[in-house]
Chains A and B, each alone.
Chain A
Amino acid sequence: MAPRGKAQSTREARNPLGAKSSSRGGIQKRRGPTRVDTDGDLDMDGPSKRPNRGPATETSGGRGRPSGRGGPQPSRGAAKVAQIVMKQLGGGSDLASRVSRPNRGRGGQIEGLTWLRVRGLKQSKAASNSDGGLSDLLSFLERKASSLGTGRKRHITIRKSHRAGEFVFVGANKEDAEELLKLNTFTFAGVQLEVVESNGDFEPSSKATESPETAELRARLQSILSQRYIGENKLLKLDALASDPELVTLGMFENRERALKTFKGLMAICDGLFKTAQEKKDAIHSISLANNSIDNVIQVESVAVSFPQLKNLDMSGNQVSNMDGLQRWKGRFKELETIYMTGNPIEGTDVNYKTTLLEWFPKLQNINGVELRTAQQIAEQEAARLPKPIPQSGPDFRDVNGIGEQFLLDFFTAYDTNREGLISRLYDAGSQFSLAVDAVSVRDPNAPPPLPWAAYIKSSRNLMKINSHHARSQRLFKGQTAINDLWKELPMTKHPNMKEELSKYIMDCHPLPGLADPTGQSQLGVDGLILAVHGEFEEYDQKSGTTGKRSFSRTFVLGPGLSGTAPIRVVSDMLSLRAYSPLPNVFVAPSPAPVDAANQHQAMIAELSKQTGMVPQYSEMCLSQVEWDFGRALVIFNEKKAQLPPEAFAPAV
């Protein structure tokens, strides 16, 4: 499908005559004249003196041509529509989304842009301006951000921007982006803006705004896809796409980046055809990408995104010549069992490529039709990799008057069903809440991939990563209003019922002396509790519609409430989130530690004294006679009660 050009990594070195001006709609250049590289990206490192070239030349020299194309040349009109469609289908934001993932170690460095997501333009007064207020918003952001810095003023520049639904995405270099982030909650044209880091998951465009041309092209692509789906084999045949006469007519494989977008568009349509991931997984087990002149899977990377649970993949007859060409799929396709690589140059250039493939794809059994390991061998290898369990002790729950227990039973139900009510009951002006996302925790490799962190990451207060004082204080939520505003935005949750599914929690509870007295009466302070809870919850993200499980740890400091309010209040509430991984069930773990036995004896003595009125020494004597069988101790007590001396009983108060 792709022209037999050079790999992505060397594209900067290509003949600059191939450069086109970026007519990539959706992303607007703001500061011209600027140089663009051969893929139409802004070249941030290049000198900016170079004038813009004229209108885009579709047939540029110096570029590879798609191999095997046979059909007629597409009309400019068709190509234009195609381009618009690809944008509508989510393909247009491809590069933007790649560069907006600075931490994923690819792409981000080259393009050098950090992307932020701004919300509020649509609701603002500026929305009625000619361009929907976009230029006003952008100059507002630049102006405000430039005036923020203390000391030396620096001009903040937005390099790229585009709208998607109610959001505006702006790209700037890392330094400027940090300044722009500080504009979160600033008021623009009567509306409070939300400025957050974009995680690259662009909101899908709405089908409602689709033009008739777009809808028609979507339908044609959909029909091409359905012709290429072989239901009985659950196989999607995406082989030799560039010689598909219909796709060629549409101009979908004009050049490398068009091909890239076409492919993303096809994947987006695939995604749209299925209501759930499970439905998609059940319908398509195998995909053929054979004979597409693929030299680097960057060109078809989205297959891994759309079909993470694919079982069989045919890559035969392509141009992959080394493992670099497959690098983008490393760590993807966790369920892949079979791959065909025959007819690729790599067969002759890398004698170890099969070994590497087995390392990269954990479930891979069969390469080029030869079984190299069995499912059982894979299971054994995985078992050897799991951590050795360390015996765990049960919870250390030293409550005071059942306050901690009552709090926990109440808290998670209320957090799931009525956060606002919970806040009004148990939080006050001094209560603090913060959360931190642990995105790198150890998890079960066989568990479904972790849910995206988008809903939390903008408020994550991981002090290892968040270094600016401003961001730190912004992510510490103090008082009922601030906490409520945040909780309203966080995804909906459902925690397991603590009474019915206690084993899904581990909690420790300790008395905490010396908390500051809210009434100011006690100089020594008052008693509180520290509670550490670990567990899981189901999540429903109302914005993205995703559901799934997460694991969490949450620490509370509770103090006595002010008079006239609830008996307790939350002083501190710290939430830590990580990928779902079930807790060890500490409630069934055998823990007959001597410490526990001693505690148990003490508890029995106390209980017997309470029930009989005996002093502890006599209770202990009685219990030790019957080998600590509480029932028998009671029986013996009742038999011999009359014979006991008066000192056996505690004096009546």
Chain B
Amino acid sequence: MSNIEEIAKQFVNGFFTGMSTNIQGLAAVYSPESVLTFESQKFEGAQAILEKLTSLPFKMSGHQLSTLDAQLASGDLLILVTGKLKVDEDENLINFVQNFKVSVTQGAGGEITGFVVKNDIFKLVY
């Protein structure tokens, strides 16, 4: 996999666009083996994860990404994102940090055909 940085960026952009416009659409990137840790609560499998993300006690009204870093760890992308989250209609943003371990699926020609999130750890750090 060449240029993992651009691939990570592509994933992150797609992921957060999904978070703000179509959470159900993210079902495609979670698999039955995916683990989400949302504020230290654990959810396993795409279904449980989507249920959690669509039934939060507050509304994630927008993510502003500040930093993105990525490394290749054992063939998967290890991604660390920091940014600010708008909660409900509160103008005061909250810092968040999110880790992903993502496996990238590639076609026969090496083209990227999809992403599968293995681990997703979300934390508010205001």
Across the interface, do A442 and B92 meet the contact criterion of CB distance under 8 Å? yes
Across the interface, do A572 and B71 meet the contact criterion of CB distance under 8 Å? yes
Residues of A within 8 A of B84 (CB): 440-442
Residues of B within 8 A of A584 (CB): 124, 126
Across the interface, do B123 and A441 meet the contact criterion of CB distance under 8 Å? no
A534-B82 CB under 8 A given contacts A432-B71, A464-B66 = no
Across the interface, do B80 and A576 meet the contact criterion of CB distance under 8 Å? yes
B90 is an interface residue with CB less than 8 A from chain A: yes
A510 is an interface residue with CB less than 8 A from chain B: yes
Across the interface, do A390 and B41 meet the contact criterion of CB distance under 8 Å? no
Residues of A within 8 A of B8 (CB): 463
**Whole-angstrom CA separation of A464 from B8 in the bound complex:** 10
The one of A442, A463, A555, A583 that contacts B94, using a Cβ cutoff of 8 Å: A442
One digit per residue, 1 when the CB lies within 8 angstroms of any chain B CB and 0 when it does not, for chain A 569-612 equals: 00110101010010110100000010100000000000000000
Across the interface, do B101 and A574 meet the contact criterion of CB distance under 8 Å? no
A506 is an interface residue with CB less than 8 A from chain B: yes
**Whole-angstrom CA separation of A122 from B84 in the bound complex:** 43
Residues of B within 8 A of A510 (CB): 35, 37, 119, 121
Across the interface, do A553 and B74 meet the contact criterion of CB distance under 8 Å? no
Across the interface, do A463 and B70 meet the contact criterion of CB distance under 8 Å? yes
The one of B66, B78, B95, B124 that contacts A555, using a Cβ cutoff of 8 Å: B78
B75 is an interface residue with CB less than 8 A from chain A: yes
**Whole-angstrom CA separation of A584 from B123 in the bound complex:** 11
Q: Identify the closest chain B residue to A432 (Cβ).
A: B71
Q: Smallest CB–CB gap between A521 and chain B, Å?
A: 15
The one of A469, A506, A530 that contacts B99, using a Cβ cutoff of 8 Å: A530
Q: Smallest CB–CB gap between B94 and chain A, Å?
A: 5
Interface size on B, residues (CB 8 A): 44
The one of B5, B75, B82, B94 that contacts A516, using a Cβ cutoff of 8 Å: B75
**Whole-angstrom CA separation of A209 from B123 in the bound complex:** 52
The one of B74, B90, B93 that contacts A514, using a Cβ cutoff of 8 Å: B74
A551 is an interface residue with CB less than 8 A from chain B: yes
Across the interface, do B119 and A512 meet the contact criterion of CB distance under 8 Å? yes
**Whole-angstrom CA separation of A197 from B87 in the bound complex:** 36
Residues of A within 8 A of B75 (CB): 516
A572-B40 CB under 8 A given contacts A387-B90, A432-B71, A442-B84 = no
**Whole-angstrom CA separation of A159 from B19 in the bound complex:** 46
Across the interface, do A532 and B121 meet the contact criterion of CB distance under 8 Å? yes
By a beta-carbon cutoff of 8 Å, the part of chain B in contact with chain A is: 3, 5, 8-9, 35, 37, 39-42, 57-58, 65-75, 78, 80, 82-84, 87, 90, 92-95, 97, 99, 101, 118-119, 121, 123-126
- Which 6 pairs, one residue from A and one from B, show the smallest C-beta to C-beta distance? A396-B40, A387-B92, A436-B67, A462-B67, A516-B74, A572-B73
Q: List 14 A-B contacts (CB under 8 A).
A: A387-B92, A388-B87, A390-B58, A392-B40, A432-B73, A435-B69, A441-B66, A463-B70, A476-B71, A510-B35, A532-B99, A555-B78, A574-B71, A574-B80
Known contacts A387-B90, A436-B82, A440-B84; 18 additional CB pairs below 8 A are A385-B92, A387-B126, A392-B124, A394-B40, A396-B41, A438-B67, A442-B84, A460-B67, A508-B123, A510-B121, A532-B99, A532-B121, A534-B97, A555-B99, A571-B74, A574-B69, A578-B95, A586-B40
